[in-house]
Amino acid sequence: MRRAGAAKFRRHARAMASTLLLVPILSACAGASAGLGTSSESCFTALPAAYKAVGPGAKLLGVRLLPAARVGEVMLGLPQGSNKALCLLAFELPDSTGGYRVIRRDDKVFGHFRLVAYSLQSKTVLKVRSREALPMRFAHEISIV
């Protein structure tokens, strides 16, 4: 009888040890970047400055960490610097009625948008630009943007 109890205890102990070893791995998979499906989590530090730059009523659509050259294609006249990557943040602005209207046609999304280029290196907003169409996708497949 004692042996059966000891064997049962060892099985439970092994199961508990296995579970404890998996917890750090599983919690890493359930982190913020995994939930968002993005590698742009470092860009979320740009949110306060970006909101201030776009003004009141702006609604965040998404954040992307991109090579500086790609951001330069979207934000013409961007100051040249030593940045290898920049954050590009997209905001939707309300229309004259105070509502938000996004229209999707084929692969394009139209509306009243403002893009913000932000440098993580210097922690500054480099440029703000208004657009009528988004130059790239800023959200997940389930969203219209």
Measured at the CA of 105, the angle between CA 100 and CA 106, to 5 degrees, comes to 140
Dihedral sign for Cα 33, 37, 42, 44, please.
negative
> Model-level pTM?
0.67
Summarize pLDDT for 18-61 with one digit per residue, the tens.
554 544 544 444 444 444 445 667 888 999 999 999 988 899 98
Summarize pLDDT for 50-101 with one digit per residue, the tens.
999 998 889 998 899 999 888 988 888 887 766 788 999 999 988 767 777 7
Cα–Cα distance, 17 to 127 (Å, whole number): 52
Contacts of 84 (CB under 8 A, 6+ apart): 67, 68
What element of type H or E holds 54? helix 47-54
What element of type H or E holds 115? strand 108-119
